[in-house]
Structure 1
Amino acid sequence: MTTSTSPRESGNESYYERTGEHTFKPTAHAGGAWSADEQHFSPLAGLVVHAIDQHLAQRPGGLLLSRISYDILGRIALDECEITVETVRPGRTIELLEATVTTGGRAVVRARAWLLAALDTSAVADSPREPLPAPDSLPAWAMDDAWDGGYISSIDVRRVPPTRRGRATAWLTSRVDLVAGEPSSPLASFIAMVDTANGIAPQQDPTAWMFPNVDLTIHLHRTPDGPWTGLDTTVTFGPTGQGLTSTVLHDVHGPVGQAEQILTVRPQPRP
């Protein structure tokens, strides 16, 4: 897995501040879209990759993060969190890691990451997916007109005007660093945007319906490059309270992988 890092060109604002070797305090920029006192999962997903990068930093390279799956075990308060990383299945060509996010003594996220050997397969590299329109060719979308929260206010979104509910194509980037005073890898910064997919193509008005995701799984066939995260997203609601957000992931060079989120769909409580 690559350990190269590149700080954002933004400045001193950040989603998190380090408080210890494995502990981090979220800033207001990490605030959630469904509730102001919760963390948005998107930057936290990137923070987990940042912790994995650190776990691997003292080791020889050669393995690439190729899949990461997150299970969201409960409400993620806007409070200090601890992230621990352990090796579940060691190997020279295939390795499995597990990361656990804890707040208030309770595990709130468990993530598993498969690392695969880096080999030269450029001679057969191909994808039927077409690249997205360039970010600078698309109009800006004020996502905070539709969603609340510090995280949504922190991102720059360029979106193809949608033609129907549940379908959208967008580019995202952020003016905010992941962790104050620390460079983050292009992969961590890229993944810190992916969970936003569930909000760019809503099937229903979020003031009338809730549809939070309880997981996020990302498969990568190429390590993405920054600073833009491209989302080609389809959202489907089923008839019995479940939904699915499916996204083809892109960087400015083309497709890099896919992401899936399972949703719990329910009406907003009446006041």
Structure 2
Amino acid sequence: MDEHRYKPTTHASGAWDPDEQHFSPLAGLIVHAIDRHLAAHPDTGLRLSRISFDILGRLALDECEVQVETIRPGRTIELLEAVALIAGRPVVRARAWLLADNDTTAVAGGGATPLRSPETLDPWPMTSVWPGGYIASLDVRPLAPPQPGRTTAWISTRLGLVAGQPVSPLASFVALVDTANGIAVRQPPTAWMFPNVDLTIHLHRRPEGRWTGLDTTVTFGPTGQGVTSTVLHDLAGPVGHAQQMLTVRPLPAA
């Protein structure tokens, strides 16, 4: 497609509906579009430190366009907005804060304990819980057998995010984060729906490598809302946090 338009393959098909896109690779694509927007401007020494996605509607498995603009320029702090459109209709809006890149090695610290290496772990067939081409494309390696509402796992894929284009480690990392809502299901997705309506990622360090570590807890409230909370890791240790707001509802009886 052209530099702003992308066509998904079947490997992006969703877990709730195979005719929809799974949000995870679309989130990575939006970060890729932000990277391209930043590359067209002089290097400002800023790093993406928070990105928040609002999912506005159905993500049809069809050509999409991603538009990016700077809405708050600055030398030490900048705010970008990205909009993904399908059939001319906005389906995702994202806002990304970029902060100054300074050397704070002397005071760096805190955060969770690094996870065990995925190379020592056995793969888990996530397709036993979820359908869809995206889930089928994943290599999922839990640190322990997944439990309802609580799982820690490494996620990776051998597939490139955008055919024929180099993609940053950040975009590849983000392209797997939305999987968190599926690794620790509290109820079977054959009986309950719990899709997320957003995803917010805060980073204290730029992730590197092909593995995304998800230390995930899922909570359902009593009135139809839920939250998926995740500590994010790469192979060197924790890199940040992710939150997803869920709409929880029983599936209609057949």
Instruction: State the TM-score, normalizing by the size of structure 2.
Output: 0.98
Residues 41-60 of structure 1 mapped to structure 2, 5 A cutoff: 41-58=23-40, 59-60=42-43
SS in 2 for 1:178: coil
> Superposition pairs for residues 102-141 of structure 1, below 5 Å?
102-141=85-124
User: Residues 78-129 of structure 1: CA distance to partner in whole angstroms, max 9, x if unpaired?
Assistant: 0000000000100011000000000011100000000000000001110241
**Which residue does the alignment assign to 1:79?**
62
Structure 2 residue aligned with 1:265: 248
2 CA distance for matches of 1:86 and 1:203?
38
- Indicate the larger mover: 107-116 or 55-64: 55-64
Report what 1:145 is aligned to: 128
Letter aligned with residue 51 of structure 1:
A
Q: Distance in 2 between matches of 1:36 and 1:172?
A: 21
The answer to whether the 8 A contact 2:146-2:152 is kept is: no
In structure 2, what residue type is equivalent to 1:49?
A: V
CA distances 1:208-267 after superposition (whole Å, capped 9, x unpaired): 100000000000000000110000000000000000000000000000000000000001
Pairing 1:40–2:22 present: yes
Quote the offset at 1:151 in angstroms.
Answer: 0.3
User: Which residue in the other structure is 1:94 paired with?
Assistant: 77
Q: Among residues 13, 28, 41, which one is paired with 2:10 in the alignment?
A: 28
| The 10-residue stretch of structure 1 (60-69 or 257-266) with the greater mean CA deviation from structure 2 | 60-69
Are the aligned partners of 2:146 and 2:184 in contact in 1 as well (CA < 8 Å)?
no
Mapped contact 2:44–2:75 kept (Cα < 8 A): no
CA apart distance, 1:163 = 6.5
Unaligned regions of 5+ residues in structure 2, if any? none
Alpha-carbon shift at residue 269 of structure 1 (Å): 1.8
Looking at structure 2, the residues matched to 21 and 178 of structure 1 have their Cα atoms a distance apart, in angstroms, of 14
Output aligned runs, 1:170-181, within 5 Å.
170-181=153-164
The residue correspondences of 1:159-238 to structure 2 (distance < 5 A) are: 159-162=142-145, 164-238=147-221
- Residue 10 of structure 2 aligns to which amino acid in structure 1? A
The match for 1:11 is none
Q: What is the one-letter code of the residue matched to 1:53?
A: D
Instruction: Point out where structure 1 has 5 or more consecutive residues left out of the alignment.
Output: 1-18
Q: How many residues are aligned here?
A: 253
Partners of 2:77 and 2:210 lie apart in 1 by 28
Give the partner amino acid of 2:84.
V
Rounded Cα–Cα distance in structure 2 between residues aligned with 1:253 and 1:143: 25
Is the deviation greater in 59-68 or in 47-56?
Answer: 59-68
Q: How far apart are 1:138 and its partner, in Å?
A: 1.6
Counterpart-to-counterpart distance in 1, 2:251 and 2:93: 27
Deviation at 1:139, TM superposition (A): 1.5
